[in-house]
Amino acid sequence: MSDTRSGRRGGGREARRAARVHAVVEHEPFLTRALKPVELISEEGLAILEHNADTILEEVGFEVRGYPTALERFAAAGADVDGDRVRIPRGLCRSVIQASAPAEYVQHARNPVNSVQIGGDATVFAPNYGSPFAHDLDAGRRYATIADFENFVKLAYLHPHLHHSGGTVCEPVDVPVAKRHLAMVYAHLRWSDKAFMGSVTAGERAADSVELARIAFGGDLADRTVMTSLINATSPLVWDATMLAAAEVYAAANQATIITPFILAGAMAPATSAGVAAQTLAEALAGMTFIQLVRPGAPVVFGSFASSMSMQTGAPTFGTPEPALVLYTVAALARRLGVPFRSGGALSASKLPDAQAAYESAATMIPTMMAGTNFVLHAAGWLEGGLTIGYEKFVLDADQLGMMATFAKGLDLSENGQALDAIRANPPGQHFLGSPHTLANFETAFYRSETADNSSFEQWTEEGGRDAAQRANRLWKERLAGYEPPAIDDAIDEELREYVARRNAELPDTVS
């Protein structure tokens, strides 16, 4: 597989590489917000939620399942440990985290021009994560494969507004579970050179991820964070051995983790937004404290994933107002704590890249951006409550990310932006199409959508009367057809493949 694709890179390889590097340099490796985050909740309101989170940690505490060393770490730090239950004195988590967790960090990419800042005024968009199914207009919905996985790694690599290659972009269900992480990490390292996420489904898979990263990046990672991986709580108020083990491996290796309570409100937390926010804070404080106890200073991101619920069926719902309120609230709580914040995504329950999908995605992504979120998983491709990644949805979502990058620059109040001389020179009733100011600004004046059709009805009809999904279908095929892999040192690629082959030989072909 890799040989075939490498073979395409003969001939004008250097020229193409130079062109690619040039292209990469022209766009921004991450989005820098000129706009301040929107504060929807008062200082008093946020202080109440912080107090409630501490009350939860102190009175209810949380459970650590099957991971005794974590209990020992918490006890040593001053927690009250009773069996599996950990109760933490008011303020302890905050002081542990604030003593050592960085407010922001750089996640290095294999190509240094793609390294991303996580935290502060930066926002990093990463693709969909974790879907067992894939969808496109031609084949419909089916189980995702490693070929789908590689396709989405390539599509994210090619798109200027996806800053990050993500992690389990989809589940490659044709690869045995015990070996999947090797195939996925290799794909990120080989078919992209953007930053990526490691495996979290077992401690040893996290360790494999670290080893592969060591090979790809060359040597010790202690001074370089090159992975940001997703650690979910088992809400309400449980941390399990799988997640803690993976988190511990990453933290010990100075690699970043996103500590994320994953809450379907009404099921894993109370049905009210303020309840969800306080519990999210409590759970995240516990997880982030664990990281700092493993290795003070290890980068850690405060994550939040909250959805509402259908009253008819109990199914998760997306794009509703309540999770948007939670998002603004928890983003503000993360800022007050002083750590980077992860939330959001182009979330939808729709099965198709239709109006529901777009309305729901926008209703999460716009708050994500306005709240000043630092790391955005699921920024492109998510369908069906996360069960499915969609090719057309990916293309449509990615276009929206470009719009957000422009919006986040805010209002240009430079002399050119004010355009007062242009207005002075233009008599009433005369259009500005020929104004020197318009001509000077036209190329960059407006975001140019990749997917929107703005032509006349007649022209649109003549061109086939395609809807947005049909146009996106054509776009992802064109992009994949034009894909060329990023350069990699042949010796490094060889070493990565040897590592993967050796571990594949050691690991079983089990399906779970």
Q: Is 464 in the site for a second copy (CB under 8 A)?
A: no
Using CB under 8 A as the binding rule, whether residue 273 contacts a second copy is answered as yes
Strands 85-87, 62-65: parallel, antiparallel or unpaired by DSSP? antiparallel
Q: What are the angstrom distances between the C-alpha of 323 and each of 131, 317, 379, 454?
A: 21, 9, 16, 32
Shortest distance, CB of residue 5 to a second copy, whole angstroms? 32
Task: State which residue, 178 or 369, has the beta carbon closest to a second copy.
Answer: 369
What is the SS3 assignment for 381?
coil
Q: Which is nearer to a second copy, 367 or 486 (CB)?
A: 367
Per-residue DSSP letter, 58: I
The continuous run of DSSP H or E covering 134 comes out as strand 133-136
416 is an interface residue for a second copy by CB under 8 A:
yes
* 254 is a site residue for a second copy (CB under 8 A): no
CA distances from 77 to 73, 280, 370 (A): 6, 21, 36
Dmax (CA) for the chain in angstroms is 80
Among 3, 112, 413, 511, binds a second copy (CB under 8 A): 413
Please report, as residue ranges, which positions from 207 to 246 form the binding site for a second copy (by CB under 8 A): 234, 236-238
Applying CB under 8 A, which part among 154-162, 167-175, 263-271, 293-301 lies near a second copy?
Answer: 263-271
* # residues contacting a second copy (CB under 8 A): 125
Name the minimum Å distance from CB 166 to a second copy.
21
Task: Provide CB contacts within 8 A for 402, sequence distance 6+.
Answer: 160, 161, 447, 449, 450
CB nearer a second copy, residue 31 or residue 496: 31
Please state the closest distance from residue 183 (CB atom) to a second copy, in A.
Answer: 26
158 binds a second copy (CB under 8 A): no
Q: Should residue 260 be labelled a site residue for a second copy when binding is judged by CB under 8 A?
A: no
Cβ–Cβ under 8 Å, residues 380 and 404: no
Options 96-104, 223-231, 357-365, 497-505: segment touching a second copy (CB under 8 A): 357-365
Contact string (CB under 8 A) for a second copy, positions 127-156, x = contact: ------x-------x---------------
Of 174 and 450, CB closest to a second copy: 450
Those residues with Cβ within 8 angstroms of residue 153's Cβ, 6 or more apart along the chain or in another chain? 165, 166, 169, 187, 188, 191, 192
CB of 370 to a second copy, least distance (A): 7
Of residues 6 through 65, those in contact with a second copy by CB under 8 A are 35, 38, 40-41, 45, 48-49, 52, 55-56, 59-63, 65
Q: Which of residues 310-339 bind a second copy (CB under 8 A)?
A: 310-311, 313-317, 319-322, 324-325, 329
N-term to C-term CA, the chain: 25
Residue 286 exposure: Cα atoms within 13 Å on the Cβ side:
41
Contact between 352 and a second copy by CB under 8 A: the answer reads yes
Report 71-90 residues binding a second copy (CB under 8 A): 85
C-beta closer to a second copy: residue 123 or 192? 123
Of the pair 187, 404, the CB lying nearest a second copy is at 404
Q: Report the Cα 300 to chain-centroid distance in Å.
A: 14
Ordered DSSP codes for 201-227: SSHHHHHHHHHHHHHHHTS--TT-B-B
Tokens of 468: 């947005």
Using CB under 8 A as the binding rule, the residues of this chain from 444 to 463 that contact a second copy are 445-449, 451-457, 460
Query: Which residues from 418-437 bind a second copy, rule CB under 8 A?
Result: 418-420, 422-424, 426-433, 435, 437
CA distance 264 to 276: 9
Separation CA 417–CA 389 (nearest Å): 40
**DSSP structural state of residue 269:** B
Nearer to a second copy, 124 or 237 (CB): 237
